Each structure stands twice: as C-alpha cells, then as structure tokens.
A and B are shown apart, each in its own frame.
Chain A
Amino acid sequence: MSTTPQAVALGDRALPPAPERRRLTPEEHRALARRRRLRRELTGWAFLGPMFVFFVTFLVVPVLGVFWWSTRSGSLTIGSEPVGLANFRRMPHQVDALTAIRNTVQFTLMSVPLTLALALGVALLLARVTRGGAVYRFLIYFPALVPGVIAGLIWVFLTNVDFGLFNTVLKAVGQDPVTWLGTKSALKVVAALDVWRSTGYWSIFFLAAVIGLPRVLYQAAELDGASGFQRFRLLTLPLMRRIILFAVVVGTIFGLQVFDTVLILTNGGPGTATQTIVLRIWNYVFSADKVGYGAAISVVLLLAILCLTLAQLRLLRSRRGED
C-alpha cells in the first residue's frame, strides 16, 4: 500500500492529501528541548519573581543599607557624612556598652536552654497522649500565637505589684508581694515570658520529630531491657540531634535579638537592668536619631550571631557520623 499522499475520492468531494509527517532532525529536537526547558525555567522564575523582588527589596537592600549607614555619622533628620570606622571604634568606650551585651547573653542563657528542655519534655508527653491530643497541642501552642507586644502587656498585668496574678497568689498563701519588675528580677521575668511564649512553638517541632522516630528501635531496646531514661538518652536524644541542633541555633538567634517584649514590659529598665542590644539599637536609631551608630552596632551583632551560629554548628555536628 502506497503511503504517498494523494487525493481520496469520496463521492463528488475530494479530501486534501494528508501532510507528510516530517521527521525532526537532532538539532531541531535539541532546539525544541531547549525551548521547553527555557519555558519551564521562565515559569519557575515567574513564580519566584515576586518573592525574589520582596527578598531583595526588604532584606538585601536594607542589609546593604545597614552596612552603608554603619560608616556614616549624622541622622535621618539633618543628613549624614562618611566617618569610616569611627562608629566601630567608639563602641568599646561607650558607658554601659557591656551592660547591654551582658543582659542579652544572660537572657539567652536563661531562656534558650529552659525553653528547649521544657519543649522537649512537653513533646514527649504529647506524643503519649492518645485522646484529645489536638486540644492539648493547641493549648500548648497558643502562647506562640500571641504577638510579642500583647504578650508583654499580658505580663505587665501578671506582674503588677498591687493587682497582678503572681502577687495575688503569693498573698493568698500568706507570702509578701514581690516587685517582679524590680532591678534584680526584671531580666528573669523577661526570660520567663520568653519561655512561656516559645515553649509551645518548639514543642510542636519536637513532637513532629518524636512521632517520626522508628518504633522498632524502641521495641528492640525494651526487649534488651533498656530503662525509660536509657531509651531517652541513648535513642531519643541521638535520633533527634538534628532537630535539637536546629532549635538551639535558631533559639539562640531569636534570644540575641530579644526586643519587643522588653520594650513593652520594662523599656530596658529599671535603669539599665533589662537593656538589651537590639533595644539599644532601636533607641539610637529612633530616639536619638543616630542611625550610623545604631547601624554599626547592628553590623557587630550580625557578625557575632554569624560566628556563634557557625561555632554551634561545628560543635553540635562534631559527632555527625554517629547519627
């Protein structure tokens, strides 16, 4: 049978001949494939584009701006001039420079370990709950949904000397009321607020990890006679190393950037008792209109967090091969 296209008679009408099915050359194939790939790439970039624009506009440009401002003196109000590294050289001589650093580090050391330990405990408990688990998870997670400003206001009322919940309880059990936001205790209260707010957040992370742990290992350990604590120490902790590492790094970064709750609860006071690094930056930029100096402190904080994170990663990943 001939494959040559020809008119097919169909009554009085004739159909046009079918077009010849042309074979594509390898070059044409490649060109088509290239075009398809390009279209896929363009589609991908089209979806990524808006996010990328926001990323550049609201992160890359401001970060570069901070570096630029850190080498300038002056303000948003009356203009600025380049001063080289003078802002950085000035920092060590600043009165109370160490106070803000010490408070921030103390806050982080109080808040992060306690938060993560509690979150892990809560996650292990939640993993055992079989009925009403969703309700418990919501209740545990709820403080994380509260914005920092609202959380600060809630704790203002909790810690009020005359009508706050904490002192009401103390008075009910015959104890003297406490000045919770006094010089000695204010930083601890701010750390407690952070623990209250962050525990639920991390416990949900840990819960997801706990649920995903291989049951068979625990069953084997039980058969081998391992106690609950041994299973936790020798199985749970090593298996959750990665998520714990992530939590320690991110929790530390959050801790070093503490700001909103301090602003609302104590505004850095009494005196400088709760003065933190970011609060100080905020004061320089928005109250004192010293954008350059505030930016220089921001750069130092950024580099410090970067170094600390790298050190944490190195330390905590040192036994990676055992995972």
Chain B
Amino acid sequence: MSLIRDRRTSELVDAYAAGRLSRRGFVSRLLALGLAPAVAGAVLAEAGARTASAQASTLPKDVSGEMRFMIGPWTDKEIEHQETIAAAFNQTYPNVKFSFKLFSWDSSGPEIDASLADGSHDIYYFGEGAYLARAKQGSFADLTERINDPAWADEKAKYLYWDRLAAYGDKLIGLPICWHVEDALFVNLDKVKEAGHDATFVDTWDGFVDCVTKMTKGDETYGLGMGMQLGNFAEWYQRARSAGGRFLTEDLSKPAINTPDVVTETQHLVDFFQKGIAPPLGTFNYDTAPDAFIAGRLATYSSDLTIAAVLMGKPKPPAFEWAVLPWPPGVKERLSFNDIGLYGMNAKTPNPDLAWEVLKFWTSGPQGAYWTAVSGTYPARKDALDYGFGEKGVKQLADSFEQFQKFSVGPEPFLQWGTIETQAGQQAAQAYSGEISAQDAVTNIEQIVNQEVFG
C-alpha cells in the first residue's frame, strides 16, 4: 500500500526525490502536515526508494562535457596519473573531456577559494583539515543525498571513515580517496637488527627507546630523527593523543591538553634531543632527511607516508632492508594520526550528474587503489588490496596498511584545529631545543587553545 497518496505529501516527495528538499526539511514538513512520526518515517523510506531508483540511473554512454580538476601535486607525475584514470573513464564515456590544474599546497586554500568563486573548476581535492570550513562555506556541492542514496549503500560501505566525516556535521561534501598517515616511522631494519631487535621493537615504548638508543652512534648516526615534519603535522600532536590528551574535550567545551600524562609524553620526546638520540633541530629538514636516512645518518625517522615514494624515487634508493611502522604506544594508548583526502565538486558545476559519476569513478576500488599506490598514500577503501594496492606502489606501504588502520585517529572536529596544531608544534620545538620546559610548552599550548577557540 502506498503511503504517498495525499497531494501535498506527494508534492513533498517529488521535491525530495528531485533534490530540492533536504532530508531534514522533508521530515520536518511531513511532521508539519500532521503525520505521526512513525508514518512520516515510513513515507521517508518509501520516498527514499523512489529517490534511489531515480539516482541509480547511470548517464548515457554518449554523455559529453568537460570536467575540470583542481588538485594538489602528490608526486611530480600527478597529471600523468590523473590522465591514466581519465583514460579509463573514457572507455565508458568517450565524449567527456578532462583538464587538470595543480594548486600549490602552501596556497591551496586561497587558490581553491578563487576557483570556487568564479566556477572555473568542477572537481577539487581537499584535505580533512579543511573539511569543516568547506562544509560551512557552502561553495562545495552538498553530496549528502547522493552519498546516502540507498541504491549506492553497498558501494558506500566500501569506503573508510564515514564516522569521522559524520563528526563534522550532517552535510557530506566529498568522497574520500585516501587517508594519509602523517607521522610514520621509516626504519632501517638492518640497524635495528644490529641493535639486537626486530620490527616488533615499536610494539612497546621501552623496546623502542632501547633500540633507538643502541642505534645512536654519536653524531654519525642518530637513532631517531624527528621534529622535521611539515606544517601542521609534527609528531607531538600524535604523542599527545597517545597520552590521552586532546586540544578540546569530546564535547568541544574546554581544553583537555594540559594533563600530567601529556607533559610526561612531551618530556619523553625532549629526552631524545637531550640525550643526543635525535639530531638537534635544524640539522636535517623535511627535504634533506630522506638522503640522511639513505646514507645511514638516521636509523629511524618520523615523517609522512609520501617519503616512501620519495625514497624509492631517489637515484640510489635505500640499499638496506627498511620498513614503515607506526609509533610505539604512548602513556595511555597506541595511535597513529592521519588525515583523509577527499574529492568534492563545485556547487556551481554546470553538470553535477556527470561530476558525481566522475567522483564515484575516481574513488572507486580500482582507481583509488591505483592512484594511492602511485602517490605514496593509503586508499580510503576496504577493498583496496583486492584491487592491487601495493602491487604498483611501494611494497612497504602495503605491508603496513592494516597495522596503521588499526591505530588510526584523525584531527579533532573544530575549525581552529589546524592553527592550533601549527602553534603547538612550535611550542614543542622550543621544548626540544631546551628553551622552555615540557610543562611550559604544554601550558602555552593550552593558552593557545583558549585564545584561538574561546578568546
């Protein structure tokens, strides 16, 4: 029996099915018509099925148009990789043309803003750190209806981290393509073996400290390189989370970072510098550390996953056995910090249906596995290994894929997170270089949280 028989109910269902009405708006108007909540729920389900059947329709094979991408350069072959995926798409839809513009990571925000404003691109890559601001901004198309379309539910279930995106609000503005571990350990396993350990040395804090201490040989070989990660992603935040700290409490009502455990964890990191296990800040940086690792100057070092591709792309890649491993457990738990990368579409795109088809294709199992493998990051799909992730890219990444996933944690869902993390990293660095104590650094970070969020 159809519940959609009343004219006004029918009109609402049509509006909902056509995407002119949000789910929340649809339900509240059904209730406003006097329907009981249970009946409204049943109407919603039936309307959802109708909407699903409408949205499940694929585009005609002869659909034409141009999809203009604005993306970040993960490798120097980014355009080449994108064109490979475009060629695969053209096998089904030969009349669709593609163009790709690379933004600079340093100025990606303003570049994307300008492009969104004048509608010069249809598809964008953006990181989880910008998700909340982008969702509030409203320049990205709201994909909630399409993503939650019951007809697409099976496919949706293959993506990772919907729960994390849900923490940013009801609105979905992107499809995840990757998740990028920001603070992994690149480990020279030959040196680990020389120190009497194996790859499990990272499973306990004591084992980790013992190993990196034994691997340190004056200023010839440092046991652990750290403090040289880029921008917002220095390892201090990951360690603070491992000690049970957060910039804000779960309900985002007050700071939760200045705890004895976080200070202890910070002091652990300071100790590495004071004992000469970590090279003094400024000795190596993000760009020079890979060479130092290959040359054996760093037995292990902390950086983001991209370094795996950088190492293998060197004229002389590591001649020793190496691995990418998560940091050891902290005072409270073992965590690995990462952020999700997404593709979203401009709300002004002239062809949203085609853009949606492109988004789905780009983040699908085969294409996601391909792109993440050649870009040195992890696919945001549960079925990535089935599609050959790790066969094309760096083997070490695939080896540790599931291990990192187990400890995965993302940024906290509030707007000022990135700004605070940058400043927190600077405070931690001051502690590493002995200018301030670990306690002072954490106190300053709490003050920064207060200023940025509540000040």
Contact = CB atoms under 8 A, between A and B. Distances in A.
Q: Do A and B bind each other?
A: yes
Given A271-B426, A271-B433, A77 B137 contact: yes
B134 interface: yes
Contacts of A79: 137
Contacts of B429: 269-272
Contacts of B264: none
B133 A75 contact: yes
Contacts of B306: none
Contacts of B133: 75, 77-78, 289
Given A78-B137, A270-B429, A275-B426, A90 B455 contact: yes
A190 to B, nearest CB: 12
Give the interface size class of chain B.
35 or more
B281 A283 contact: no
A183 interface: yes
A271 B423 contact: no
Interface string A86-110: 0000100111100000000000000
Q: SS class of chain B's interface: helix, strand, loop or mixed?
A: helix
Contacts of B432: 270-271
B280 interface: yes
Nearest to A189: B282
B418 interface: yes
Contacts of A162: 288, 291-292, 295, 297
Interface centre among B279, B288, B297, B432 (most CB of A within 10 A): B288
A78 B282 contact: no
A160 interface: yes
Interface string A254-289: 000000000000101111110100000001001111
A290 B451 CA distance: 13
Contact of B447 (A95, A186, A289): A95
A275 B423 CA distance: 11
A270 B447 contact: no
A94 B430 contact: no
A283 B422 contact: yes
Contact of B113 (A77, A180, A182, A290): A77
Interface stretch (B37-45, B72-80, B102-110, B179-187): B102-110
A179 B113 contact: no
Nearest to B133: A77
B280 A179 contact: yes
A161 B426 contact: no
Contacts of A182: 280-283, 433
Interface string A214-229: 0000000000000000
Contacts of B130: 77
Given A275-B426, A287-B231, A95 B448 contact: yes
A77 B132 CA distance: 11
Nearest to A177: B219
Interface string A70-92: 00000111110000000000100
A96 B378 CA distance: 36
Contact of B283 (A161, A271, A275): A161
Contacts of B291: 162
B349 interface: no
A179 B283 contact: yes
A85 to B, nearest CB: 14
A137 to B, nearest CB: 35
Contacts of A161: 283-284, 288
Interface string A150-189: 0000000000111000000000000000011111011000
Nearest to B112: A77
Nearest to A271: B429
Given A76-B110, A95-B447, A160-B288, A270 B282 contact: yes
A162 B432 CA distance: 22
B8 interface: no
B314 interface: no
B203 interface: no
Contact of B282 (A95, A269, A272, A275): A269
Interface centre among A275, A287, A290 (most CB of B within 10 A): A287
B435 interface: yes
Contacts of A283: 422
Contacts of A179: 279-280, 282-283
B259 interface: no
Given A76-B110, A77-B137, A270-B429, A93 B282 contact: no
Contacts of B282: 179-183, 185-186, 266, 269-270, 273
B419 interface: yes
A263 to B, nearest CB: 9
A95 B448 CA distance: 7
B368 interface: no
A89 to B, nearest CB: 10
B405 to A, nearest CB: 29
A75 B136 CA distance: 12
A77 B429 CA distance: 30
A265 to B, nearest CB: 10
A286 B110 contact: yes
B129 to A, nearest CB: 10
Given A269-B429, A288-B422, 13 more contacts: A77-B113, A78-B136, A95-B427, A162-B292, A179-B283, A268-B426, A271-B435, A273-B433, A275-B426, A286-B106, A286-B110, A287-B106, A289-B109
Interchain residue pairs A-B with the least CB separation, the first 6: A271-B429, A270-B281, A182-B282, A288-B419, A181-B282, A183-B433
Interface of A: 75-79, 90, 93-96, 160-162, 179-183, 185-186, 266, 268-273, 275, 283, 286-290
10 contacts: A77-B137, A90-B451, A95-B447, A96-B427, A161-B284, A162-B288, A181-B285, A269-B282, A270-B429, A271-B432
